[in-house]
Structure 1
Amino acid sequence: MPGTVLLLAASPVGRGRLVDAASVLPVLAAVDPAVLSGTDTANVVELADPLEPQAVLTRLRAAATAPGPMTVFVTGQLQLDRKQHLPHLALARTTPATVRYTAFPWAWFREELRLRAPGTTTLLLDLHTDAETWQWLRAHPLDSGRTNAVYGRIAPPPARRSVAVPSYMKAVATILRSGWRPPVDQLHQQAVGRLGAEGYADVVLAAPGSVGAGSVGASVPGGSAPRPPSALKGPRPQTPDGLKNAGGWEDDRRHRNESDPHGAITDAVQAGRHADADALAAEHEQAAVRAHGQGSEEALHWIEVRADLAMLAGDPVRSCRAWLAVAGARLAAGQAADAPAVEAAVDRAHHQWGQIHQPARARELGPELAELRSLVPGRRAGALDHVQQHLVQLQLLG
């Protein structure tokens, strides 16, 4: 029975573009359709920077009704609409103010694929996020359907005034151009391995089709079940009594600040008030320390929030230092070196260390990272070697 392949690459035109999504399509289009599908023959539908969500829905619906295996390759960026704060795939005309009308609701993937036979649908995703969506993912899994196999990565916002490359999907396409499609979990593992240090900050999606597999968080490459990353989950402590607006927020936002600190922090980040966002998170961190103790999950959650805020503010030194502190605290508390939260903290410290462009600051943090990497090698081969080799290069720079 022939398979069906949907190639969808979309990102806004202009300043709102976070990733050059369409750049991957020529590489994918060069792959034999049967290899893309993993079947003897396949029909391929390609959507490059579509303009209208209804046009995407029409193509998705038609592809979903075809019998046989279906593989969906999605490259692009996630954004939240301002009314319901739900994730959408941004399209060519999407702006932050028009997400609800010009972007493709992520829930439509789930709805259109839900009637397909279990085990017949695979999604391969290379998604980038803006700051608001990255924060939203702390508390909300990306639901792609309970019976669909979902693999890929969700990347944090790129550096300011830069456009990211869909490296994961390009790696997938390069592997497939060999003319053979390995089992999808192996394909995913090989693609993640090619990302190197670039991918340490990502949410890695590896969820075979099974109950609950569509609500995916991070997992080890090729793993058998999803697991949320420490950076994107955790307790959401109640706002301390008497919390005042930080940084001069308007009075009409006071209720939101008190009831939803994560929302208030996101507001500040979106407005470019990075210092205000960190100050509010620091206030909650101190409240968590007073209420639960220095190494409590509640306190560590807020340190992780501040580490992400430093990344969003373009301060990899502060972000790396925070992730190192989280990893050290978790190990000191007796958590295993292969515990998901420990590995996630060291991976993110490693990624941020690689973003430091001042050799002296990188040399300062490198030995601590190397020591942690010797204890927590992670799931990707060569991580400790990468740190040690980079340290040698930094020493040569003086």
Structure 2
Amino acid sequence: MPGTVLLIAASPTGKGCLVDAASVLSVLAAVAPSVLSGTDTANVVELADPLEPQAVLTRLRAAATAPGPLTIFLTGQLQLDRRQRLPHLALARTTPATVRYTGFPWHWIREELRLRAPGSTTLLVDLHTDAETWQHLIAQPLTVGPGAALYGRVAPPPPRRSVAAPMYMKSLATILRSGHRPPLAHLHQQALTRSYGEDPDAARRDLVLAVTTAPAHGYATPAAGPTPRAPLAAPVPVHAPMPVHAPMPMPMPMPMPVPVPVPVPASGDLSADPHAEITAAVQSGRHAEAAALAERRERAALRTHGPGADEVVHWMEVRADLAMFADDAELSCRIWLMVADARLVAGQSPDAAGVEAAVDRAHHQWGRIDDSTRARELGPALADLRLRVPGRRQGALDDIQRHLSRLQTQV
């Protein structure tokens, strides 16, 4: 089966730039697509110094829904947004004051990869940070979810008034230009050895990412010989909750997931992995069965944990996603509205990522409702939520009001 390769090189323009990310693209472009992907054939998509988060999201989403293995080569710099302190990939227009609106949130990567089959996704990264983000990542390592492998390095700020070179990614590309693609762990180690030969100080300074599809996630510090593993962060459970979709307030077309073979456990066994079973049902077009499985899990979580518990909210989110996949925009909107309300009632801040995402998804689905009467019914509730949860995109409330006005003319 053909593979997909996504090459992303992103960094701010001007004095905020910490790494010459785009310089690596010419080296990667010289590698045969089949070698980049590790498949017989591959489709390669390149993003050089993107300006808008939505442009990156569109490319990532298309790559994530393509069949076959997915390999992402990501070079750039990470910055924290000042409000939520979440890491973002800095894009061309990003500044410290505008990260929240002009950067690409790292958790969007996890969200877009969540439906991919375990073992089918690899991220190879060469990332640089400012001092604040560096300290944050030491305490809270990057993750991409339990189904993907993550290899690479995170580097601290370069000396003042200098721009770092992405030596890890360049070393990786140079190795692949030979036409041979070693197993990922060996490729990663060879790239480290080559890049630290160019910069010995980095071997004592960088955080090295070596995260496989196993539940354990952690950093390692490079040293002579095989890379020793540092103490692992808390394991990510195999049955971790599905994260919600990336915020997208304005109506946009949503690509459907591409069928990927998934082992299906016995439907009557509550100890089996429900996400694999639900994903298999959706990808086979058995939407009613998938919804029933999620409802059963939500009821069980409600009995065990009570209203508003994280486990209950998670299964509400899954049901909202399933309604979207079944093209029931009205039901999806209603459930996302309930998710947002549940999170707010539980005491979450209106600018919390989960709250914003729920309102954004409700807004998106509301714009896809064909029945004008049903859309008019839901509009006021959505507008009320938008007053409390404006989200990241300016004009979201105005968009609701304009759409409601149009709906009134359709009476």
Q: TM-score range by the shorter chain?
A: 0.5 to 0.7
Q: Scaled by the length of structure 2, what TM-score is found?
A: 0.53
Q: Does 1:217 align with 2:219?
A: yes
SS at 2:161 equivalent: coil
Within 5 Å, which residues of 2 pair with 1:343-362? none
Determine the C-alpha separation between the residues in 1 that align with 2:120 and 2:36: 14
Residues 4 and 43, structure 2, Cα contact 8 Å, conserved in 1: yes
Determine the C-alpha separation between the residues in 1 that align with 2:228 and 2:136: 22
Determine the C-alpha separation between the residues in 2 that align with 1:50 and 1:14: 14
Q: Does 1:104 align with 2:107?
A: no
- 2:193 is aligned to 193
SS at 2:97 equivalent: helix
- 1:115 is aligned to 115
Q: Scaled by the length of structure 1, what TM-score is found?
A: 0.55
1:276-309, CA deviations, whole angstroms, 9 ceiling, x for partnerless residues? xxxxxxxxxxxxxxxxxxxxxxxxxxxxxxxxxx
Q: Does 1:206 align with 2:210?
A: yes
Residues 24 and 170, structure 1, Cα contact 8 Å, conserved in 2: yes
Determine the C-alpha separation between the residues in 1 that align with 2:14 and 2:221: 33
The alpha carbon displacement at 1:96 in A equals 0.2
Determine the C-alpha separation between the residues in 2 that align with 1:226 and 1:103: 31
- 2:146 is aligned to 146
1:80-123, CA deviations, whole angstroms, 9 ceiling, x for partnerless residues? 00100000000000000000000000001111011100000000
- 2:76 is aligned to 76
Distance 1:137 1:229, change over 3 A: farther
Determine the C-alpha separation between the residues in 1 that align with 2:15 and 2:105: 21
AA aligned to 1:183 is P
The alpha carbon displacement at 1:223 in A equals 7.3
- Structure 1: which 5+ residue stretches go unaligned? 231-398
Within 5 Å, which residues of 2 pair with 1:1-398? 1-196=1-196, 197-200=200-203, 201-213=205-217, 216-218=218-220, 227-228=230-231
SS at 2:14 equivalent: coil
1:154-196, CA deviations, whole angstroms, 9 ceiling, x for partnerless residues? 0011000000000000000000000111111111000000122
Distance 1:219 1:162, change over 3 A: closer
Residues 52 and 102, structure 1, Cα contact 8 Å, conserved in 2: yes
Residues 53 and 102, structure 1, Cα contact 8 Å, conserved in 2: yes
AA aligned to 1:63 is A
Determine the C-alpha separation between the residues in 2 that align with 1:44 and 1:127: 21
The alpha carbon displacement at 1:212 in A equals 3.7
1:329-349, CA deviations, whole angstroms, 9 ceiling, x for partnerless residues? xxxxxxxxxxxxxxxxxxxxx
1:55-78, CA deviations, whole angstroms, 9 ceiling, x for partnerless residues? 100000000001111100000000
SS at 2:139 equivalent: coil
The alpha carbon displacement at 1:209 in A equals 1.3
AA aligned to 1:86 is L
Determine the C-alpha separation between the residues in 1 that align with 2:176 and 2:74: 16
SS at 1:91 equivalent: coil
Matched residues, percent identical?
71
Determine the C-alpha separation between the residues in 1 that align with 2:226 and 2:61: 30
Residues 19 and 77, structure 2, Cα contact 8 Å, conserved in 1: yes
SS at 1:145 equivalent: coil
Determine the C-alpha separation between the residues in 1 that align with 2:156 and 2:97: 21
Distance 1:44 1:171, change over 3 A: same
SS at 1:40 equivalent: coil
Distance 1:228 1:25, change over 3 A: farther
AA aligned to 2:214 is S
SS at 1:193 equivalent: helix
Residues 152 and 188, structure 1, Cα contact 8 Å, conserved in 2: yes
The alpha carbon displacement at 1:138 in A equals 2.7
Determine the C-alpha separation between the residues in 2 that align with 1:205 and 1:30: 25
1:259-290, CA deviations, whole angstroms, 9 ceiling, x for partnerless residues? xxxxxxxxxxxxxxxxxxxxxxxxxxxxxxxx
- 1:247 is aligned to none
1:128-177, CA deviations, whole angstroms, 9 ceiling, x for partnerless residues? 00011011123211122122111000001100000000000000000000
- Structure 2: which 5+ residue stretches go unaligned? 234-411
Residues 220 and 227, structure 2, Cα contact 8 Å, conserved in 1: no
For these two proteins, the number of residue pairs brought into alignment is 228
Residues 206 and 224, structure 1, Cα contact 8 Å, conserved in 2: no
Determine the C-alpha separation between the residues in 1 that align with 2:231 and 2:4: 30
